[in-house]
Structure 1
Amino acid sequence: MSEQAPHTGDTPLYPIREVSRITGVNSVTLRAWERRYGLIKPQRTPKGHRLYAREDIARVEQILQWLNRGVPVSQVRELLDRPTPMEPQPPDTSDWSSQRTQLMTAVAALDQHRLDMLFSQSLSLYPVSVCIAELWQPVIQALEEGWGERLGDTLQRRFLEAFLRTRIGTRLLHANRVVQGPALLISAMPEDPGSLWVLLVALAASDKGFEVQLFDAPLPFSELPLAVEHLHAGALLLASGQAEKSDLVRRQLPRLAEQLDVPLALCGPVARIRASELTGSQVEVLGDDLGQAMVRLKALLPQGSATSR
């Protein structure tokens, strides 16, 4: 690895928690990038605590740029160490392809140990938004396209839902303790056969700094205004992996939006499929790119109501 620019001694040094706050990369991931891939090289205090210079923070931001373009973390070091900027080549997607295959195989085999390893490994090495876009969302889409009435399909779905409900629920619990601002109420829609999409949406929203209140089973539309009021939600976000009924989308959703004092937003495949039917309504259609959906949602809320970690 080529040497990073030396620290001059007259510029500030930052502890890992501050670097995490500045860059949005959690401490576990920063340590993994250092230990496993040699991507960054912080200084150490006499007690062994990491200290990062501005040059290190700039390097972390460069790493994020490459990861967000789909480059596997194992290939980033070579790109960072090039002496002169070069026209980027199309990223090698074999790493993500392999992880997707492993993930689908683990679900088919009901292999919880393997599933847990893949979940923890991906989130320790990559930003949550990249994990969702490159791994979890494509896998869930592929699984849902393949699941039908075959023996074992429902078992696979419920197995994956139970796994993600536990893992994502734990992340939400810890994240909600440090988030400032109003809650985001997330609920599944009536025709979605499971909670996979709404769980992914909750993970994406938490990553963007929202305090997430999640209902992964549908609530009656008549009770959603009451839920918003009692949970002091700053917005209501509905998600579904299905098209949902036309009458529900065209009539009931706009009517619900009119009853609320906070924004009503829609995301997931339903938002892509039904977007044209909600033109001119008060329903904010966010699409099925969950990273972009969260950016659009934050723009709807008062500034400072949700801050990225």
Structure 2
Amino acid sequence: MSTTESSPTETDRQALLPIRSVSQITGVNPITLRAWERRYDLIRPTRTPAGHRLYSQADIRTIKRIQELAESGMGFAQIALLLKQGDTESSREQREATPAPEAPTTPPPRSLLDRVMRAAIDLDPAELRAAEVTALMWLTPEDYLREVLIEALAQLEARTAWPDRDLGLIWLAEYIKGRAEWVADRPGHTSEPVVVIDNLVRGQPFSAGGLRLFTALHDDRFHVRLLPTGLTESQRTQMARRWGARAWIRLDTAPPENPVGRSAGAQVFWCRLPLLEPDDGDQAVDFMQRWRRLVEEDIQHCREQVAEALGRPEPSPPQLTRH
């Protein structure tokens, strides 16, 4: 770590990379990279005249080192001290010739996204919990929900086949639903107006699209609640009424011919979010691009409807992370 902005060598200057490229190389998402810089002063990328961050190869090496130390359980105050000591030693030895570094004997740690996906594939609750503990050392619960958990679910939905695929998707979706409810009820967040989201897709848990709608409405400062799946109509109505819902969003592949306008004192909206199924041979990246385009349009449409009905300003478009 350096206490001033990076001063890369001529070779490094030729290889300066934007934050998105560095995220792809290291597996660390941009929000985390910015948090390491702003909150912990662990890295100092150079800036363009417009303020955009550019990272040198030395910065990338530092990021990978931070990953290793954080994955080992070291706190960020200790990491900062260790990196600072390393800078001091490096400056002292800069004039001396040093042998080439030895190849690492162990593979680098997986990114948080990879760890969550692997935990779902293996149905491994211990690994999922360990990934969360690591993530919450530097990410807010909202960022972890949006950038890691829901993104992992979306990418797993894009895979055509893996052992116990349906079971793994249901298991991860239910876990994410629980974390979303925790985020909604954290102290300090708004308690009204209440918007409930109701998943009516038969035999399916909340999809990545439905959970992404939750985060978008949460960002709009609504108190969003997720109705349990499998309830009868009267039970769902009772819960919406007990929660004091003002808007009730029903997710389904096709709304009824004569949808009701109000129920349990709430304005009712029917939203169709894409439940795409990847075809055999369908490239995951192509599937994800198609899914993102469709889900972004549908989420924005739902947000506009709710904002207008509840007298809120028009929400800003959702910012979906591209991986």
Compute the TM-score of the two structures, normalised by the length of structure 1.
Answer: 0.51
Q: CA deviation at 1:37?
A: 2.5
Give ranges in structure 1 of 5+ residues lacking alignment: 5-31, 43-73, 272-285
Larger Rg belongs to: 2
2:295 alignment partner in structure 1:
288
2:261 alignment partner in structure 1:
258
What secondary structure is seen at the aligned counterpart in 2 of 1:255?
coil
- The answer to whether residue 178 in structure 2 is matched with residue 179 in structure 1 is no
2-side partners of 1:146 and 1:203: how far apart? 23
- The answer to whether residue 143 in structure 2 is matched with residue 143 in structure 1 is no
Q: CA deviation at 1:87?
A: 6.6
Which AA in structure 2 matches 1:231? W
1-side partners of 2:212 and 2:163: how far apart? 25
The equivalences for 1:80-99 within 5 A come to 81-82=46-47, 84-85=49-50, 98-99=111-112
What secondary structure is seen at the aligned counterpart in 2 of 1:105?
helix
Which AA in structure 1 matches 2:128? L
Q: CA deviation at 1:234?
A: 1.7
Give ranges in structure 2 of 5+ residues lacking alignment: 6-31, 68-109, 277-292, 316-323
Q: CA deviation at 1:187?
A: 0.8
1:302 alignment partner in structure 2:
311
Q: CA deviation at 1:207?
A: 4.3
Which structure ranks higher in relative contact order (CA pairs < 8 Å, sequence separation ≥ 6)? 1
1:56 alignment partner in structure 2:
none
Residues 141 and 199 (structure 1), Cα distance of their counterparts in 2 relative to 1, 3 Å cut: closer
Residues 41 and 105 (structure 1), Cα distance of their counterparts in 2 relative to 1, 3 Å cut: closer
1-side partners of 2:205 and 2:179: how far apart? 16
2-side partners of 1:105 and 1:193: how far apart? 21
What secondary structure is seen at the aligned counterpart in 2 of 1:84?
coil
Question: Bigger CA drift: 219-228 or 202-211?
Answer: 219-228
Which AA in structure 2 matches 1:296? E
Which AA in structure 2 matches 1:232? G
2-side partners of 1:120 and 1:205: how far apart? 25
Which AA in structure 1 matches 2:124? D
Q: CA deviation at 1:183?
A: 0.8
1:193 alignment partner in structure 2:
204
2-side partners of 1:89 and 1:292: how far apart? 31
Contact 2:249 2:270 in 1 (8 A): yes
Deviations 1:231-286 (A, max 9, x none): 3212112236xxx3xxx43xx1x622434562515253259xxxxxxxxxxxxxx9
Q: CA deviation at 1:194?
A: 1.6
Which AA in structure 2 matches 1:108? I
1:39 alignment partner in structure 2:
38
Compute the TM-score of the two structures, normalised by the length of structure 2.
Answer: 0.49
Match of 1:268 among 269, 273, 284: 273
What secondary structure is seen at the aligned counterpart in 1 of 2:195?
strand
2-side partners of 1:40 and 1:139: how far apart? 25
Q: CA deviation at 1:215?
A: 0.9
Task: Say which structure is richer in helix.
Answer: 1
Which AA in structure 2 matches 1:188? N
Aligned-pair RMSD on alpha carbons? 4.7
